[in-house]
């Protein structure tokens, strides 16, 4: 039956009841009181139906009361809504159970933390890797249970772009990598996975590079020594031999520079924490670098502007190396004057090296600090680069809690800016 037909039926019923009582009232000579009695009868019927529906709503599973006409339609509508609501709740419940089951089966430790930092749920791997047990630790503050200093500072920093490396609180030999994902209103999902194998491989790779570079150094020094002696004393008078000897010397020197950079990078990788850190006045470093390169490149101007009084907590040699790498690049890849600025802005200390060279296409910028990444291989070889300069800079800055910002426009120039936190 359509809705209009139901309404018409109900209206007809009301009119028939009122007409019937009016007729009886008219026959008895009391039309108005009879009409009022009819209206009261209707209200009583409706109240009775409302009482039935309200009692039925108290019962979570009962069937709707039987009724015809408009009231039957209302009962059926409410019943449909209740069924839909129940089905929706069941679906949500099974989705939550499904998610929990899949999180429970993860090899990674998964911990859900509420906006106050209390544990809401954790899986079985969280017990194995972090020592957190659910439901025992439900409602406990995660910072109270995981007493690991760098986890505390990482959590409190609120910056979770980079994952955190840490040692398992249960076993010093187990290395973990942890990621925190905020969700909902202030809740967090903490995921930690066993990274021991990867870290062991990484450490083997570092050892290998450091050892090979070290072992190659001595034979190379002997070879370059002999080549220098032969060329200096013109032992090979013959032009045909002289030129290859010269090329050998150049290539041997390139290899020496490469080994030097590789060893320096290895040393930076091995130096953990803030080794040999002291209060460094960047002005001294900048003046030294400017003087050194001005002597090496007398035909170029290195403009130095210093608008910052602040000192840095750092390693003097490493900072010197970072600045000189950036200055060498600016001199190598451009032909005009270059600028060296030291200033303070937005609570940070900024050291920038600006050149008016060829610039770098945006596609290369994210990869520039990778080892051996070069925009133009042939040009870099011409300029004698090792491809490790910016990787060294990045490493040094990371050790100082700083980072490198690169801005470049093709045909205009580049700006390499080291952003240091203020003390
Ligand atoms: P390289 O020893 O080859 O200079 P780097 O790590 O120092 O190695 O630099 C990586 C690459 O970034 C370089 O090969 C070069 O293509 C590009 N590059 C670095 N600095 C500049 C600059 N100032 N202008 C243009 N390109 C640059």
Asked which of 97-101, 255-259, 336-340 is least confident by mean pLDDT, the reply is: 97-101
Distance 405 CA to ligand 1 centre (A): 14
Rounded-to-integer distance, Cα 50 and Cα 81, Å: 17
Q: Which atom of ligand 1 is nearest to the CA of 388?
A: 6
Question: For position 137, what pLDDT does the model report?
Answer: 93
Q: Tell me the residue length of the chain.
A: 423
Residue 404's SS3 state is strand
Does residue 273 register a pLDDT over 80?
Answer: no
Rounded-to-integer distance, Cα 56 and Cα 235, Å: 112
Phi, psi of 59 (to 5 degrees): -95, 115
What mean pLDDT do residues 190-199 have? 93
Tokens of 322: 């970072």
Question: For position 272, what pLDDT does the model report?
Answer: 64
For the Cβ of 307 lying below 6 angstroms from any atom of ligand 1, the answer is no
Query: What is the pLDDT confidence band of residue 237, given thresholds at 50, 70 and 90?
Result: low
Question: For position 326, what pLDDT does the model report?
Answer: 97
Pocket test for ligand 1, best of 265, 332, 385 (most atoms within 8 A of CB): 385
For the Cβ of 380 lying below 6 angstroms from any atom of ligand 1, the answer is yes
Chain-centre distance for alpha carbon 242:
56
What mean pLDDT do residues 42-53 have? 89
Please name the residue whose Cα sits nearest to atom 3 of ligand 1: 387
Please name the residue whose Cα sits nearest to atom 4 of ligand 1: 385
User: Which residues are within 8 A (CB) of 55 and not within 5 positions of it... i.e. 6 or more apart?
Assistant: none
List the beta strands (DSSP E) in 292-402. 302-307, 312-314, 338-345, 348-355
Distances 343 to 88, 138, 311, 383 between C-alpha atoms, Å:
60, 49, 11, 30
Question: For position 190, what pLDDT does the model report?
Answer: 94
Query: What is the pLDDT confidence band of residue 148, given thresholds at 50, 70 and 90?
Result: confident
Question: For position 125, what pLDDT does the model report?
Answer: 93
Phi, psi of 33 (to 5 degrees): -60, -35
Distance 213 CA to ligand 1 centre (A): 22
Q: Which phi-psi region, left, alpha or beta, contains residue 416 (left: φ > 0; alpha: ψ -120 to 50)?
A: beta
Mean pLDDT of the residues in the chain: 89
Q: Which atom of ligand 1 is nearest to the CA of 392?
A: 6
Instruction: Say if CB 210 and CB 266 are below 8 A apart.
Output: yes
Rounded-to-integer distance, Cα 303 and Cα 290, Å: 8
Chain-centre distance for alpha carbon 100:
24
Does residue 283 register a pLDDT over 90?
Answer: yes
User: Which residues are within 8 A (CB) of 173 and not within 5 positions of it... i.e. 6 or more apart?
Assistant: 196
Chain-centre distance for alpha carbon 113:
18
Distance 342 CA to ligand 1 centre (A): 21
Distance 365 CA to ligand 1 centre (A): 10
């Amino acid at each position: 039956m359509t809705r209009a037909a139901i309404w018409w039926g109900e209206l007809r019923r009301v009119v028939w009841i009122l007409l019937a009582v009016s007729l009886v009232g008219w026959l008895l000579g009391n039309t108005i009181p009879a009409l009022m009695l009819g209206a009261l009868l209707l209200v009583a019927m409706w109240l009775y139906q409302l009482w039935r529906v309200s009692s039925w709503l108290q019962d979570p599973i009962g069937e709707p009361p039987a009724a015809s006409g408009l009231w039957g339609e209302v009962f059926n509508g409410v019943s449909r809504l209740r069924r839909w609501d129940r089905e929706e709740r069941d679906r949500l419940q099974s989705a939550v159970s499904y998610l929990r089951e899949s999180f429970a089966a993860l090899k990674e430790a998964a911990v859900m933390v509420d906006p106050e930092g209390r544990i809401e749920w954790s899986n079985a791997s969280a017990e194995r890797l972090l020592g957190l047990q659910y439901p025992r630790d439900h409602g406990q503050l995660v910072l109270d249970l995981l007493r690991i200093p760098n986890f505390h500072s990482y959590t409190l920093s609120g910056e979770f772009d980079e994952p955190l490396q840490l040692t398992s609180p249960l076993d010093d030999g187990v290395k973990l990598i942890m990621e925190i994902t905020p969700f909902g209103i202030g809740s967090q999902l903490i995921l930690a996975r066993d990274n021991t194998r990867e870290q062991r491989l990484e450490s083997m790779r570092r050892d290998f590079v450091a050892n090979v570079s070290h072992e190659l150094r001595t034979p190379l020094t002997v070879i370059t020594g002999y080549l220098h002696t032969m060329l200096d004393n013109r032992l090979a008078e013959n032009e045909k031999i002289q030129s290859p000897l010269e090329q050998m010397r150049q290539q041997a020197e390139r290899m020496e520079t490469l080994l030097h950079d590789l060893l320096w990078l290895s040393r930076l990788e091995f130096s953990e924490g803030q080794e040999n850190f002291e209060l460094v006045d960047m002005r001294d470093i900048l003046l030294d670098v400017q003087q050194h390169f001005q002597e090496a490149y007398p035909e170029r101007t290195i403009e130095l502007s210093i608008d910052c009084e602040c000192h840095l907590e750092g390693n003097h040699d490493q900072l010197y190396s970072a600045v000189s790498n950036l200055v060498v690049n600016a001199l190598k890849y451009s032909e005009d004057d270059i600028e060296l600025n030291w200033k303070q802005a937005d609570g940070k200390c900024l050291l920038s090296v600006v050149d008016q060279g060829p610039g770098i296409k945006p596609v290369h910028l994210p990869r520039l600090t990778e080892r051996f990444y070069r925009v133009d291989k042939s040009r870099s070889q011409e300029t004698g680069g090792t491809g490790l300069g910016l990787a060294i800079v990045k490493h040094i800055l990371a050790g100082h809690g700083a980072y490198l910002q690169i801005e470049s426009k093709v045909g205009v120039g580049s700006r390499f800016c080291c952003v240091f936190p203020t003390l």
